[in-house]
C-alpha cells in the first residue's frame, strides 16, 4: 500500500471519528449534537490542522430543496467536503482548493456537511471560507392530482338521525367526503343529500320528541369519512340545561351504529358542540366513531396525540409551500422554523382536496400555543390564515397543520402550508407607536374590528378605562382602540400608563373584556397584552377570547419598584376555576348571625366556610370589604358540589348607605336539600384578581 493511500486512509478514519464524536467548534449557533448550524445565504470560516482534521456542520431542509455548498481555500493544503443524510448516505462530494457541490434533496429533515483535509495530502494548518445556500424546487407540478372519492351503489341510501330529550334547540350537521354539508340552512347537496325538519328551531315550537335527519337518496354515494356535528344552540326554558342525545347512522336501511352522549349549553350563551364521524367502506358497511365536545375554546388546545417533547417536526422554509395530508389516521402534521423576537410571520393553510376543513396553530419555543386560526374569513372558505403574528421571543417555533375538531373530526384531504413574512398591516407595539412612556405601561394590541375594553385598577381601587380615562393616582388612558365599534385608524390599540414620578406600590388588576364583535361575522380575535414597570416587561401574554369573555390578571409593585406578575385567566367559569374542594373538607363552620373576618391577599385569593342546611330553609349571605380596596365576590356551593348562587356586586338597595357598591349579597336563597353547604369568600376575578383587604362574612337564616 502506498504512503499516499495510507495517509488518505488515516484522514478518512479521523473523519469517521469526528462523526462518531460530533466534533465541532465551541461557538454559539450549534445543534444539540454540537454541530454548527448553517444558515442559507451566509458564509462561515473555519480552520483545520493535523490534530483537528475535520469539521461537522448541519442544516435543515424541506423536501425538494437544492443545497449549494462552496469551499474556498484561504491558506494551507487541499480540502474536501461531502453532504450526507443523518443515516450516513452520501449525497454529494468534492475536493480541491475550490470545491463546490450542488445537491438535490428529495426529502425534508436534517443534513450533514463534512469538511476535512483531502485524502492523499499532508495534514497541515488550513483555513477556509464555506458558503452555503438553500433553495426550494418548484413542487406544485409534482403534487399528484387527488383522486376522486370512490363510490358505492346503495339501494336504500344513508340516513343520519339526531334525537334528544328536553326543551332545547339542538342542530345536526353532516359533512360528506366531498366537502358538501347538510344542516338546517343547507338543505340539499349535489349528490342527493337532503335535510329534514329543524326541530325546536329558535325555540318557536317545542316538540315532545325532537328529531332531525340528514339523508342521501339511493344511488352511487361517496365512500370515506362523514363528519357529524351536534350543536347546542339554546335552552328553551329555565328548567332545561344538560340534555341527552343520540345520533343513529343507517346505511341501506340497517343501523350501522349510534353515538349517545350528553351536551350542555355553552359558556356565555355560546354554542356548545359535539363532533364525531362515521366511515363508509367500499363494502357498504359504516364504522361509527364517537368523538367528544368541541366548544369554541377548543381551537386553542393542541391535538391530544401531539407530544411537544417527543414529536420530531419537519423543517419549513419561508416562502416555500409544502404539501401534506390529513386523515383520520394522521389528523395533524408538525413543522418547525427558527424565529426571532418581534418578528412578524404569516402562515396560510389551504385545503387542496376532498372535504378538509383546515386549522392551523403556532407553538412557541416553550410549547405554548401563541396563535391559531380555523376559518380565515376570506372568500367564505374553511381555509386557515394567521397574518402578522408577532413572535414574542427568539427560538424554535412549530406549526401544527390539522383540521377542525382535530382527532374527533371527520374531514380529510391534501393541504398546502406556506410560511411567509409580514403583510404590511402589522400591529405595532407601544414603542413603535410613539405612545408616551411611564413608570407603568399596560398595552393591548389586536388586529380585528372587535371592541376590546382595557381596564386597569390601581392600588387605591380606582379603575382607568374608557368611562374613567384619568385616575386620581395619575393613571391615564391614552388610547382606546375600536371603542364603541368606531374603527381605529390603523390597527387598534388600547394603552394605560402612569407618568414618571407617579409609581405607587401595591396590587394592580388588569381586565380585558371582549365587549362587542362589531360585525355580523367576526373573524377570530387574539390579543397581545404587555405590562411594563420601570422599563421592565413584567408580562407579555397572547390570548384568544370569545365574545363576552373577560380576561383578568394582576401584578404587584413592591416598595423597591420591582414588580411581580400574578396569574391570569378567563373568569366566566365562576367557582369552577377555584380548587376549593380540599379546603371544604376542613372548612370552619359559620353560624347564623355571627360575623367572621378574613383577609384576601396575593397569596390567599379565597377562603372557604361551611354550614349545615335543611331543605326548605332560607338563607342570606353578606360579604363586605372592611379595609383597603377589596372588591368582594361570593359563591354558595350545594352538598353535591354544584354552584347554586353567586354575587359580585350587590343590589344598591340591599347594600344601603353603609355598604360599598363592590360588596356582595345573596339574599333569600331557599336551600334545595339537606347537607353541608360551602361558602366561598373571594374577590372579583377570583385567583386572577388584584384587589386585597379584610372582609366580613355574615350568614343568616330567615
**Is residue 425 assigned to a domain?**
no
**Is residue 312 assigned to a domain?**
yes
Note the pLDDT of residue 429: 56
Name the one residue in this structure whose C-alpha cell is 344601603. Answer: 656
Shortest CA distance to 196 belongs to which of 187, 206, 207, 208?
Answer: 187
What's the average model confidence in pLDDT over 128-152?
66
Note the pLDDT of residue 507: 92
Residues 285 and 303 reside in one and the same domain: no
Note the pLDDT of residue 496: 97
Note the pLDDT of residue 6: 33
Note the pLDDT of residue 433: 65
Q: For 31-45, 389-403, 512-526, which range has the lowest pLDDT when averaged over its residues? A: 31-45
Q: For 9-13, 131-135, 148-152, which range has the lowest pLDDT when averaged over its residues? A: 9-13
pLDDT per position as a tens digit, 527-546? 989 999 998 888 888 888 98
Distance CA 495, CA 489 (A): 15
The sign of the torsion formed by the CA atoms of 625, 629, 630, 631 equals positive
Instruction: Return the half-sphere exposure (C-beta side, CA atoms, 13 A cut-off) of residue 550.
Output: 17
Set of cell numbers at residue 679: 361558602
Which residues, listed in sequence order, are joined to residue 334 by a DSSP beta bridge? 400
Note the pLDDT of residue 139: 41
Name the one residue in this structure whose C-alpha cell is 361517496. Answer: 222
Which of 554, 570, 586 finishes a domain? Answer: 570
**Is residue 474 assigned to a domain?**
yes
Shortest CA distance to 67 belongs to which of 80, 84, 52?
Answer: 84
433-447 core/surface letters (b: 16 or more CB in 10 A; e: else): bebeebbbbbbbbbb
pLDDT per position as a tens digit, 228-257? 999 999 999 878 889 999 999 999 999 999
Note the pLDDT of residue 380: 64
Note the pLDDT of residue 11: 39
Residues 326 and 228 reside in one and the same domain: no
Note the pLDDT of residue 25: 33
What's the average model confidence in pLDDT over 354-370?
92
Set of cell numbers at residue 687: 385567583
**Is residue 142 assigned to a domain?**
no
Instruction: State yes or no: pLDDT of 393 exceeds 80.
Output: yes
Please report which confidence band the pLDDT of residue 653 belongs to, taking 50, 70 and 90 as the band edges.
low
CATH number at residue 561: 2.60.60
The sign of the torsion formed by the CA atoms of 168, 286, 187, 276 equals positive
Provide the domain limits for residue 132: 3-137
Phi and psi, residue 420, nearest 5°: -135, -175
The DSSP output letter for 269 is G
What's the average model confidence in pLDDT over 677-698?
95
What's the average model confidence in pLDDT over 221-225?
95
Instruction: Return the half-sphere exposure (C-beta side, CA atoms, 13 A cut-off) of residue 524.
Output: 22
What would the 3-class secondary structure string for 335-377 be? EEEEECCCCEEEEEEEECCCCCCEEEEEECCCCCEEEEECCCC
The total domain count for the chain is: 5
Residues 565 and 583 reside in one and the same domain: no
CATH number at residue 43: 2.60.120.380
Which of 542, 570, 598 finishes a domain? Answer: 570
Note the pLDDT of residue 109: 76
Instruction: State yes or no: pLDDT of 48 exceeds 90.
Output: no
What would the 3-class secondary structure string for 507-566 be? EEEEEEEEEECCCCCCCCCCEEEEEEECCEEEEEEEECCCCCCEEEEEEEECCCCCEEEC
Shortest CA distance to 620 belongs to which of 629, 611, 631, 632?
Answer: 611
H/E element, 43: strand 42-48
Residues 518 and 590 reside in one and the same domain: no
Instruction: State yes or no: pLDDT of 325 exceeds 50.
Output: yes
Residues 270 and 390 reside in one and the same domain: no
Residues 108 and 229 reside in one and the same domain: no
Residues 312 and 416 reside in one and the same domain: yes
SS3 (DSSP) at 701? strand
Please report which confidence band the pLDDT of residue 148 belongs to, taking 50, 70 and 90 as the band edges.
low
Q: Do strands 333-339 and 314-315 pair parallel, antiparallel, or not at all (unpaired)?
A: parallel
What's the average model confidence in pLDDT over 606-635?
93
Note the pLDDT of residue 27: 34
Note the pLDDT of residue 494: 95
H/E element, 463: strand 463-464
Position with higher pLDDT, 116 vs 632: 632
Instruction: State yes or no: pLDDT of 508 exceeds 70.
Output: yes
Distance CA 508, CA 690 (A): 6
Distance CA 423, CA 491 (A): 13
H/E element, 702: none
Please check whether residue 272 is in contact with residue 263, taking contact to mean a CB–CB distance below 8 angstroms: yes
Residues 398 and 508 reside in one and the same domain: no
Note the pLDDT of residue 30: 45
pLDDT per position as a tens digit, 103-134? 888 777 778 888 888 777 777 888 888 898 88
Note the pLDDT of residue 658: 55
**Is residue 146 assigned to a domain?**
no
Which of 395, 420, 445 finishes a domain? Answer: 420
**Is residue 62 assigned to a domain?**
yes
Set of cell numbers at residue 122: 499532508
Instruction: State yes or no: pLDDT of 324 exceeds 60.
Output: yes
Q: For 185-189, 236-240, 382-386, which range has the lowest pLDDT when averaged over its residues? A: 236-240
* Predicted TM-score (pTM) above 0.85: no
What is the residue-averaged pLDDT of the chain? 86
Instruction: State yes or no: pLDDT of 263 exceeds 70.
Output: yes
pLDDT per position as a tens digit, 413-449? 999 999 998 876 655 555 556 789 999 999 999 888 8
Residues 181 and 60 reside in one and the same domain: no
What's the average model confidence in pLDDT over 152-180?
95
Instruction: State yes or no: pLDDT of 33 exceeds 60.
Output: no
**Is residue 144 assigned to a domain?**
no
Residues 11 and 130 reside in one and the same domain: yes
pLDDT per position as a tens digit, 553-582? 999 999 889 998 999 999 988 898 899 999
SS3 (DSSP) at 414? strand
Distance CA 359, CA 400 (A): 8
Instruction: State yes or no: pLDDT of 412 exceeds 80.
Output: yes
Residues 176 and 130 reside in one and the same domain: no
Please check whether residue 561 is in contact with residue 535, taking contact to mean a CB–CB distance below 8 angstroms: no
Note the pLDDT of residue 153: 93
Distance CA 71, CA 116 (A): 11
Instruction: State yes or no: pLDDT of 391 exceeds 80.
Output: yes
Distance CA 94, CA 96 (A): 7
Note the pLDDT of residue 685: 94
What's the average model confidence in pLDDT over 642-660?
75
**Is residue 444 assigned to a domain?**
yes
Q: For 16-20, 52-56, 374-378, which range has the lowest pLDDT when averaged over its residues? A: 16-20
Note the pLDDT of residue 26: 31
Which segments of 264-343 are extended strands (E)?
A: 272-280, 286-293, 314-315, 322-326, 333-339
Residues 453 and 561 reside in one and the same domain: yes
Set of cell numbers at residue 375: 376559518
By CB neighbour count within 10 A (0-12 exposed, 13-18 middle, 19+ buried), where does 432 fall? exposed
Instruction: State yes or no: pLDDT of 683 exceeds 90.
Output: yes
Note the pLDDT of residue 59: 83
Amino acid at each position: 500500500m502506498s504512503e499516499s493511500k495510507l495517509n488518505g486512509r488515516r484522514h478518512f478514519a479521523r473523519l469517521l471519528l469526528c462523526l462518531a464524536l460530533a466534533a465541532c467548534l465551541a461557538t454559539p449557533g450549534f445543534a444539540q449534537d454540537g454541530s454548527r448550524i448553517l444558515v442559507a445565504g451566509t458564509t462561515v470560516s473555519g480552520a483545520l490542522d493535523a490534530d483537528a482534521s475535520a469539521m461537522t456542520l448541519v442544516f435543515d431542509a424541506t423536501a425538494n430543496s437544492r443545497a449549494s455548498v462552496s469551499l474556498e481555500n484561504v491558506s494551507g493544503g487541499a480540502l474536501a467536503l461531502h453532504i450526507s443524510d443523518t443515516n450516513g448516505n452520501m449525497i454529494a462530494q468534492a475536493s480541491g482548493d475550490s470545491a463546490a457541490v450542488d445537491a438535490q434533496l428529495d426529502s425534508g429533515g436534517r443534513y450533514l456537511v463534512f469538511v476535512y483535509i483531502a485524502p492523499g495530502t499532508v495534514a497541515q494548518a488550513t483555513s477556509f471560507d464555506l458558503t452555503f445556500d438553500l433553495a426550494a424546487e418548484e413542487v406544485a407540478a409534482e403534487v399528484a392530482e387527488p383522486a376522486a372519492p370512490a363510490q358505492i351503489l346503495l339501494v336504500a341510501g344513508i340516513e343520519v338521525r339526531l334525537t334528544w330529550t328536553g326543551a332545547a334547540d339542538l342542530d345536526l350537521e353532516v359533512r360528506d367526503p366531498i366537502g358538501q354539508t347538510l344542516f338546517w340552512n343547507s338543505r340539499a347537496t349535489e349528490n342527493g343529500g337532503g335535510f329534514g325538519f329543524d326541530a325546536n328551531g329558535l325555540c318557536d315550537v317545542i316538540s315532545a320528541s325532537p328529531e332531525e335527519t340528514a339523508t342521501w337518496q339511493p344511488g352511487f354515494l361517496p365512500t370515506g369519512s362523514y363528519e357529524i356535528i351536534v350543536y347546542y344552540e339554546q335552552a328553551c326554558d329555565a328548567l332545561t340545561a344538560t340534555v341527552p342525545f343520540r345520533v343513529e347512522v343507517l346505511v341501506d336501511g340497517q343501523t350501522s351504529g349510534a353515538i349517545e352522549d350528553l351536551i350542555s349549553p355553552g359558556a356565555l350563551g355560546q354554542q356548545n358542540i359535539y363532533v364525531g364521524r362515521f366511515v363508509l367502506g367500499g363494502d357498504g358497511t359504516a364504522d361509527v366513531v364517537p368523538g367528544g365536545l368541541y366548544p369554541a375554546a377548543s381551537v386553542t388546545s393542541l391535538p391530544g396525540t401531539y407530544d411537544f417533547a417527543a414529536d420530531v417536526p419537519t423543517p419549513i422554509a419561508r416562502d416555500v409551500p409544502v404539501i401534506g395530508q390529513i386523515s383520520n389516521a394522521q389528523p395533524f402534521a408538525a413543522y418547525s422554523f427558527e424565529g426571532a423576537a418581534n418578528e412578524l410571520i404569516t402562515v396560510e393553510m389551504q385545503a387542496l382536496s376532498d372535504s378538509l376543513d383546515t386549522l392551523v396553530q403556532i407553538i412557541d419555543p416553550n410549547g405554548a400555543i401563541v396563535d391559531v386560526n380555523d376559518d380565515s374569513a376570506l372568500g367564505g372558505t374553511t381555509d386557515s390564515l394567521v397574518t402578522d403574528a408577532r413572535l414574542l421571543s427568539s427560538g424554535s417555533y412549530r406549526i401544527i397543520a390539522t383540521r377542525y375538531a382535530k382527532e374527533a373530526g371527520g374531514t380529510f384531504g391534501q393541504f398546502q402550508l406556506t410560511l411567509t413574512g409580514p403583510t404590511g398591516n402589522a400591529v405595532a407595539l407601544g414603542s413603535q407607536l410613539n405612545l408616551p412612556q411611564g413608570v407603568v405601561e399596560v398595552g393591548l394590541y389586536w388586529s380585528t374590528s372587535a371592541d376590546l375594553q382595557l381596564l386597569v385598577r390601581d392600588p387605591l381601587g380606582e379603575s382607568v378605562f374608557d368611562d374613567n380615562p384619568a385616575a386620581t393616582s395619575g393613571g391615564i388612558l391614552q388610547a382606546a382602540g375600536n371603542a364603541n365599534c368606531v374603527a381605529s385608524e390603523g390597527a387598534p390599540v388600547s394603552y394605560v400608563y402612569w407618568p414618571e414620578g407617579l409609581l405607587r406600590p401595591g396590587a394592580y388588576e388588569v381586565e380585558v373584556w371582549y365587549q362587542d364583535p362589531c360585525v355580523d361575522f367576526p373573524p377570530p380575535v387574539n390579543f397581545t397584552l404587555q405590562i411594563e414597570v420601570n422599563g421592565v416587561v413584567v408580562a407579555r401574554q397572547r390570548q384568544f377570547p370569545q365574545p363576552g369573555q373577560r380576561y383578568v390578571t394582576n401584578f404587584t409593585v413592591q416598595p423597591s419598584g420591582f414588580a411581580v406578575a400574578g396569574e391570569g385567566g378567563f373568569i366566566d367559569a365562576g367557582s369552577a376555576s377555584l380548587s376549593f374542594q380540599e379546603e371544604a373538607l376542613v372548612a370552619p363552620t359559620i353560624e347564623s348571625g355571627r360575623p367572621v373576618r378574613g383577609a384576601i391577599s396575593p397569596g390567599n385569593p379565597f377562603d372557604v366556610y361551611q354550614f349545615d342546611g335543611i331543605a326548605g330553609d332560607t338563607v342570606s349571605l353578606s360579604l363586605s370589604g372592611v379595609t383597603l380596596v377589596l372588591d368582594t365576590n361570593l359563591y354558595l356551593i350545594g352538598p353535591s358540589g354544584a354552584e347554586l348562587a353567586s354575587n359580585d356586586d350587590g343590589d344598591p338597595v340591599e347594600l344601603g348607605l353603609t355598604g360599598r357598591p363592590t360588596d356582595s349579597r345573596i339574599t333569600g336563597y331557599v336551600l334545595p336539600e339537606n347537607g353541608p353547604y360551602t361558602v366561598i369568600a373571594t374577590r372579583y376575578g377570583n385567583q386572577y384578581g388584584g384587589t386585597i383587604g379584610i372582609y366580613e362574612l355574615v350568614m343568616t337564616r330567615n
